[in-house]
Structure 1
Amino acid sequence: MIPAPLKARAAVHNGESSSLDIRTIDVAAPGPGSVLVRLGASGVCGSDRHVLDGDWQLPSPTVMGHEGAGTVAAIGEGVVDVAVGDHVILSWFYPCRRCTACVSGRSYVCTGSRAEECLLPDGTSALSENGTRVFPYLAVGSMSEYTVVPESGAIKVPAAVPFDVASLIGCSIATGYGAVVNDAAVQAGQSAVVVGTGGVGLSIIMALNLVGANPIIAVDLSEEKLAAARELGATHTLQPGNDLAAQIQEITGGGADFAFEAIGRVQTIESLPGLITGGGKAVIVGLPPQDAPVSIDALELAESGKSLIGSNYGSTVPGRDFPRLAELYLAGKLPVDKLISDRIKLDEVNEAFDAMRRGERARSVIVFD
């Protein structure tokens, strides 16, 4: 029997500081259509940092974390997709399953989800502290020992997938893989450049290697991250400079077929069209701060037949893609564990964000006892 409410230690953002407080919150029993999850692991992602650093505005106080995996501890009335004891990956953009986008197979642009409001489908939160509502980031709140999510946001995967690996499948891996396979549709032998080799950038490189892209060029300031990129399939690594476009043209013979931006910086997004060949495709994967317009030479884009597209969650359909990615990991074709540079405790989360701000570490993952 699961007591209600549960007490859980969680990393809470107060809406003002750039750091997190480790506090004890209350987690209510799951209501109809919802699932109580005991977290096994949570990724520490750049999207969380955007919130802490004030780039994106959210309701607060907020339990941070949106890359999560764990065990179903209890289910609410009407839940049929998962059962107590199942291992699940949490989706940070749960679909409503009813809107036009969802029924046409494009749940990544669902218009009925309240995930971006950090609310369950009925407009509530299962998290609170001393009677005050606490919001789960993107309706996940994975930096907590327990959380409650909608049934559509908890996807069953094989128990053989470790929780630290599974947590990354829920965001960075799905985003990177989807950007390559779902959005860009990269084919074997086509060339690609990846600007930014954090967790998402390295996931893009893994996916490019999986589909047989060649050459695969990784660009980053950090030699540590470039070394990780080489291990995961990059054939060439470069540090950015004034001659970056020329270097890429030399390697590819005129420009890459695809360029992926995985940082979310205005300057690097603006540079993408100059890195691709005529008819090539540039893909914006990194998310910039709010109200940060980008300047693009539309005439050059049109005359050269180049495309510039946005990739939201890699056009991921969680119920389809999470099990697929889990099976690719188990088959040894997607070495997600190599992406994890640091396994940490919840109390070390602020140190992980500080390291991220310094450009250090590939990906930190919080591992719960």
Structure 2
Amino acid sequence: MKAAVLYSTVPSGTSYTQAHPLQVEELDRPEPRAGELGIDITYSSLCHSDLSVVDGSRVRPLPMALGHEAVGRVAAVGHGVTDVSPGDHVVLVFVPSCGGCRACRAGRPALCHRAADVNGSGDLLHGEALLRTPAGKRINHHLGVSAFANYAVVARESVVVIDDDVPDTVAAMFGCAVLTGMGAVLNTAAVQPGQSVAVFGLGAVGLSAVMAAALAGASSVIAIDPNAAKHGLALKCGATAVGTPDDASRLIADASGDGVDTAVEAVGSARVIASCLEHVTRGGSVVSVGLPHPTAELTVPALQFAGAGKRLLGSYMGDAVPGRDIPLYLGYWREGRLPVELLHTDTRPLDQINEGLDALAAGQVVRRLFQA
């Protein structure tokens, strides 16, 4: 099997095309164990979470085969799996919920404790890492998926079976970008018709949040990003106003007076989180969905929480229940209410994955898909 493996991190600001941190190489092809599936990967999708592992801001055990957002077909079924068959069309998700921990029992599988442990160690839900080089060296799994490859072994809990009619170039983006951005608005914030929403950061997650706000019937959807090249795309996704961070105060005042009901922070910046708190009205909510650097700290006036009823909400994987939400969101896509294909910038061969890192870091792409 072919996979893109990270052996050492490279600081941000480096030319990834020149440094070549991801090595596309042959690994031994593992077979699924009990509770697992072998998946032929059709398309994988490059996300900022992948970039944050490459630059070291998200610490992971190395070496690791990267990639966590993908679509494919079931190639092999491990013992005990009875509800999935070879040939099934599947979206891969990066939190394989165990079903038995405190979070799973509470109906919040995106926060599964067991999944957090194995995702952090580079193992799989049902056993230790399977990936090996031909020389026998262990290669860690990325978030239970390792999708920058032509094949992966994953836990049954890491896939959602979807209908055959969904194009792979659309389905590939549902396991992370759509699930996270949509869920931040619909699950975490529970935006209601007539409310106002501002989205800060217009990557694939932020643009998915824009789509979700429009879908929810928000009266105003204000999309903010310093990269003006993304503003037209945000309008196509459903934004009612777009601008740079310098425009945010004016646009929000024009649309909703003293602040929006919900601000979605999809940048991964403590500074932007603090700014979002200033931009929500009394009783408003800030949803933090971006991933700041682990050392980043947030300092804000404490009185705004009790004194103005403002809320700061964390949202991991959009507080999703993947088996419920992915079919629901695909239904919206079929109805023409969720133009996910707008997120797809282009498709490249996996051998160009390092060039893709540069393009993503420079804001030149939203979602670049790869084929091994």
Identity across the alignment (%): 39
Q: Where does residue 5 of structure 1 map in the other structure?
A: none
Please say if residues 126 and 147 of structure 1, whose CA atoms lie closer than 8 Å, have aligned partners that are also in contact: no
User: 1:120 Cα deviation (Å)?
Assistant: 1.0
Once residues 127 and 282 of structure 2 are traced to their aligned partners in structure 1, the CA distance between those partners, rounded to angstroms, is 47
Q: Unpaired segments of 5 or more residues in structure 1?
A: 1-7
Please say if residues 126 and 155 of structure 2, whose CA atoms lie closer than 8 Å, have aligned partners that are also in contact: no
TM-score by length of 2: 0.94
- Specify which of 181, 184, 188 is matched with residue 179 of structure 1: 184
The CA RMSD measured in Å over matched residues stands at 1.3
Q: Give, as a single letter, the amino acid of the residue that structure 2 aligns with 1:33.
A: G
Q: Where does residue 166 of structure 2 map in the other structure?
A: 161
Once residues 165 and 15 of structure 1 are traced to their aligned partners in structure 2, the CA distance between those partners, rounded to angstroms, is 32
Please say if residues 117 and 138 of structure 1, whose CA atoms lie closer than 8 Å, have aligned partners that are also in contact: no
Q: Give, as a single letter, the amino acid of the residue that structure 2 aligns with 1:167.
A: A
Q: Does residue 317 of structure 1 match 2:321?
A: yes
User: 1:20 Cα deviation (Å)?
Assistant: 1.1
Q: Give, as a single letter, the amino acid of the residue that structure 2 aligns with 1:10.
A: A
Q: Give, as a single letter, the amino acid of the residue that structure 1 aligns with 2:2.
A: R
Once residues 111 and 356 of structure 1 are traced to their aligned partners in structure 2, the CA distance between those partners, rounded to angstroms, is 30
User: 1:23 Cα deviation (Å)?
Assistant: 1.0
User: Per-residue CA shift, 1:7-48, capped at 9, x if unaligned?
Assistant: x11111112346311111112100000000000111100000
- Aligned residue for 2:231, secondary structure, equals helix
Once residues 102 and 360 of structure 2 are traced to their aligned partners in structure 1, the CA distance between those partners, rounded to angstroms, is 38
Stretch moving more, 299-308 or 36-45: 299-308
User: 1:126 Cα deviation (Å)?
Assistant: 2.1
- Specify which of 60, 73, 84 is matched with residue 62 of structure 2: 60
Q: Give, as a single letter, the amino acid of the residue that structure 2 aligns with 1:188.
A: P
Please say if residues 42 and 164 of structure 1, whose CA atoms lie closer than 8 Å, have aligned partners that are also in contact: no
Q: Does residue 367 of structure 1 match 2:371?
A: yes
Once residues 133 and 164 of structure 1 are traced to their aligned partners in structure 2, the CA distance between those partners, rounded to angstroms, is 31
Q: Where does residue 294 of structure 2 map in the other structure?
A: 290
User: 1:333 Cα deviation (Å)?
Assistant: 1.9
Please say if residues 228 and 362 of structure 1, whose CA atoms lie closer than 8 Å, have aligned partners that are also in contact: no
- Specify which of 71, 74, 80 is matched with residue 73 of structure 2: 71
Once residues 160 and 271 of structure 2 are traced to their aligned partners in structure 1, the CA distance between those partners, rounded to angstroms, is 36
User: Per-residue CA shift, 1:136-173, capped at 9, x if unaligned?
Assistant: 21110000100000011111011111222212100010
- Specify which of 89, 92, 95 is matched with residue 93 of structure 1: 95
Q: Where does residue 47 of structure 1 map in the other structure?
A: 49
Q: Where does residue 7 of structure 2 map in the other structure?
A: 14
Once residues 255 and 326 of structure 2 are traced to their aligned partners in structure 1, the CA distance between those partners, rounded to angstroms, is 34
Please say if residues 342 and 363 of structure 1, whose CA atoms lie closer than 8 Å, have aligned partners that are also in contact: yes
User: 1:221 Cα deviation (Å)?
Assistant: 1.2
Q: Where does residue 13 of structure 2 map in the other structure?
A: none
- Structure 1's consecutive aligned runs of 4 or more residues displaced over 6 angstroms after TM superposition are none
Once residues 316 and 194 of structure 1 are traced to their aligned partners in structure 2, the CA distance between those partners, rounded to angstroms, is 19
- Specify which of 126, 129, 132 is matched with residue 130 of structure 2: 126
Please say if residues 343 and 364 of structure 1, whose CA atoms lie closer than 8 Å, have aligned partners that are also in contact: yes
Please say if residues 225 and 361 of structure 1, whose CA atoms lie closer than 8 Å, have aligned partners that are also in contact: no
Q: Give, as a single letter, the amino acid of the residue that structure 1 aligns with 2:360.
A: M
Q: Where does residue 208 of structure 1 map in the other structure?
A: 213
Q: Does residue 170 of structure 1 match 2:162?
A: no
User: Per-residue CA shift, 1:26-82, capped at 9, x if unaligned?
Assistant: 121000000000001111000001111110111111111100110000011001221
Please say if residues 68 and 147 of structure 2, whose CA atoms lie closer than 8 Å, have aligned partners that are also in contact: yes
What are the residue-to-residue correspondences of 1:310-349 with 2, within 5 Å? 310-349=314-353
- Specify which of 229, 252, 259 is matched with residue 255 of structure 1: 259
Once residues 122 and 174 of structure 1 are traced to their aligned partners in structure 2, the CA distance between those partners, rounded to angstroms, is 24
Once residues 79 and 4 of structure 2 are traced to their aligned partners in structure 1, the CA distance between those partners, rounded to angstroms, is 29
Q: Give, as a single letter, the amino acid of the residue that structure 2 aligns with 1:325.
A: Y
Please say if residues 67 and 90 of structure 1, whose CA atoms lie closer than 8 Å, have aligned partners that are also in contact: yes
Q: Unpaired segments of 5 or more residues in structure 2?
A: 11-15
